[in-house]
Structure 1
Amino acid sequence: MIPRTAVTWQGSDWQNALATAIRHPQELLEALNLPLSALPQTLAAAGDFSLRVPRDYVARMKKGDPHDPLLLQVLPAAEELTATPGYSADPVGELAAMPVPGLLHKYAGRALLITTGACAIHCRYCFRRQFPYAEAAAARTHWAPALAYLAADSSIGEIILSGGDPLLLTDQRLAELLKNLAAIPHLQRLRIHSRVPVVLPERITADLIKLLSGTRLRAIMIIHSNHANEINAPVGDALIRLAQAGITLMNQAVLLKGVNDTPEAQIKLHETLFEYGVLPYYLHLLDKVHGAAHFQIDRQQALDLYTQLRQQLPGYLLPRMVQEQAGLPYKVPGEHLEDFSAGGLM
């Protein structure tokens, strides 16, 4: 286990870390002692989807290594500028499943609220990298219609907070939202999808933990970690404190070419997270969003990888390999991938 830290984060620490995040590709390359030869293409890709990465996350990267698995997730690449058939701005059909602004109702029994368009880090494979947040996010002005929709449908027992990243809401706004959600009697569970505990552990303050554990709703947090190198001592401490507060922790990873597409990388990720109270949830196959085709692995490689994970991991450390498809009322399990066309994954 990575040694624990004894840091007590203050409310201003995470905001300072966010404000000082690296935003320019040249600064990132120089910080890692990497050549600037590809800077023109990198700048062009960043013009379409900007760079944002906290400095502590950069400190976990290996200097001089252009193939560092953390760097590949955030550095704008020339491949993003290539249009690839089959890729789109809305690969999982979210806009067609939005009854009111910012609220997605794709699956039975649960609904998802897009609380903000802001993220602590800009992941190059993000399936919402082209999402129309200005029109479709559940900004505070849109909360009333979303809350009214939830209150009117008693079949919804779980509310999922997503974004952007819901943990970038201030404590005050998050408290207001949770109070309104808890007032809907048929809501029983609160699920939060967030990369913040991994990339901005300063945000996991005592006040935030008290807020999340103090609601009557059963709190589940799905963290998004793709590689064991992301888990340093501050991240581990943040995860342990969340778990000790009674918040169920699970991880959702994305299978990414060159980042975590080996059995060794996957096994180390899930074993490391388990040390800090995090169980595996999903291993997502890439959503086919414009600009992310270079992260796609082929169909047979995904199946072979998952077979090896089945053989080497105990059941409680084995994530469910799935893919989301527009229009389906469920995620497609990995064992059904053989039913798809030989031309590649959906």
Structure 2
Amino acid sequence: MPDPAPARNLQASHRTLRDASALAEAGLLPPGTELAGLEAVAARYAIAVTPAMAALIDPADPRDPIAAQYIPDPAELRTAPHEIEDPTADAPFTPVPGVVHRYPDRALLKPLLACPVYCRFCFRREVVGPDGGLLSTGQLEAALAWFERTPAVREVILTGGDPLMLSPRRLSWLLERLAAIPHVEILRIHSRVPVADPGRVTAALAAALTLEKPLFLCVHANHAREFTMEAMAALQRLTGAGVVLLGQSVLLRGVNDSAEALEGLFRAMLRGRVKPYYLHQLDPAPGTARFTVPAEEGRALLAALRFRVTGLAWPTYVQERPNGGGKAVVGPVWEDVV
């Protein structure tokens, strides 16, 4: 088994980096980078690079796949013609603040909009940020009341933002409230924390995820190097507490747009007991065009892995339909693969 990737940048800070100057001081920007352009980006879109991710960035490599995900770029202020503010159409399907109900049998709950890191390709980049977007007590109670009176919903998906940014005590309270609803059968959490900020995965947090009802934790990671020794330890802590781990990734130009990179990512997930679940086609959020990989190229990449990886490593390749139509399977169609 290959060892997890070593730390790449020994100058990385011991605190989360939240502005262009901090990135420069930590040695994470290429020589000659103009801070004014990055400060303009920061005025619109939040920046956060945790120590765990900063330690992986090689600023000497202009094509570093970790830097591409987290280091701001002036290109983010250019909106392509096909890009839209709410590409997943959360707003039209929000019956009460914090809830998104697009599918009959499941709904999202967004208790907060803060994240440990802010991905430069995020489809909610217009709304997430360090102010947290935390639901007030009244809003959260209204959201829980909506779930209680909506018996068609059998699965609640906690997202945001990152639900694992909540304190273990608050998270445990919220999960227990949801699990107590008779018609709610499954709980799911989507999170970057286990790889982006693995120190947050304490024994207390793992205990908060231990419920009588099934709970699935979807871990967002896009490159094999994100599965450091610390991340692997965090994942082991979670599985040791009985949490079932799934993996979700976004197909990104300059990050994982090769068969080799995808194979490495999926194999790293399995070593961490994470079952690859979704590979997402990039959602067209403003300023993300540089990450776009055409769907036909994505299909070809997956086809190239056909006989190279176990079926356990295989995610479903999906794309959001416009106007909140939900996910469509992109392919490939295996009958067409020679």
Mapped to 2, the partners of 1:92 and 1:283 lie a distance apart of: 16
Provide, for residues 201-246 of structure 1, a one-character-per-residue CA deviation record: whole Å limited to 9, x for no partner. 1111111111111x22211000000000111101001111211221
Indicate the larger mover: 39-48 or 289-298: 39-48
Counterpart of 1:173 in structure 2 is: 170
Question: Aligned with 1:48: secondary structure?
Answer: coil
2:230 to 216, 234, 254: 234
How big is the shift at 1:314?
2.0
* Consecutive aligned runs of 4 or more in structure 1 exceeding 3 Å deviation: 1-4, 132-140, 326-330
RMSD (Å), alpha carbons: 2.3
CA contact (8 A) 2:112 2:132 kept: no
Question: Aligned with 1:40: secondary structure?
Answer: helix
Question: Are 1:277 and 2:261 counterparts?
Answer: no
Q: How does 1:280-295 map to 2 (within 5 A)?
A: 280-295=276-291
Question: Are 1:142 and 2:139 counterparts?
Answer: yes
CA contact (8 A) 2:89 2:324 kept: no
Structure 2 unaligned segments of length 5 or more: list them.
5-11, 334-338
Residue identity in the other structure for 2:22: E
Mapped to 1, the partners of 2:226 and 2:314 lie a distance apart of: 19
Question: Aligned with 1:240: secondary structure?
Answer: helix
Structure 1 unaligned segments of length 5 or more: list them.
5-16, 338-346
Provide, for residues 133-176 of structure 1, a one-character-per-residue CA deviation record: whole Å limited to 9, x for no partner. 89986443311111111111222111110011001111221122
Provide, for residues 232-289 of structure 1, a one-character-per-residue CA deviation record: whole Å limited to 9, x for no partner. 1010011112112211101100001011100000000110110111010000010000
Q: How does 1:66-145 map to 2 (within 5 A)?
A: 66-131=62-127, 138-145=135-142
Question: Are 1:251 and 2:239 counterparts?
Answer: no
**Structure 1 or 2: more helix by fraction:** 1
Counterpart of 2:19 in structure 1 is: 24
Counterpart of 1:331 in structure 2 is: 327
Identity of aligned residues (%): 37
Mapped to 2, the partners of 1:2 and 1:118 lie a distance apart of: 33
How big is the shift at 1:310?
2.6
CA contact (8 A) 1:310 1:318 kept: no
Mapped to 1, the partners of 2:328 and 2:46 lie a distance apart of: 31
Distance 1:301 1:153, change over 3 A: same
Question: Are 1:60 and 2:56 counterparts?
Answer: yes
Counterpart of 2:148 in structure 1 is: 151
Question: Aligned with 2:189: secondary structure?
Answer: strand
Counterpart of 2:200 in structure 1 is: 203
How big is the shift at 1:40?
2.4
Number of matched residues? Answer: 324
Q: How does 1:37-56 map to 2 (within 5 A)?
A: 37-56=33-52
Counterpart of 1:14 in structure 2 is: none
CA contact (8 A) 1:198 1:231 kept: yes
Indicate the larger mover: 133-142 or 114-123: 133-142
Indicate the larger mover: 108-117 or 29-38: 29-38
TM-score by length of 2: 0.90
CA contact (8 A) 2:239 2:245 kept: yes
TM-score by length of 1: 0.88
Question: Aligned with 1:92: secondary structure?
Answer: coil
Residue identity in the other structure for 2:231: V
CA contact (8 A) 2:303 2:332 kept: no
1:194 to 169, 191, 194: 191
Mapped to 2, the partners of 1:47 and 1:108 lie a distance apart of: 38
1:318 to 304, 314, 321: 314
Indicate the larger mover: 196-205 or 37-46: 37-46
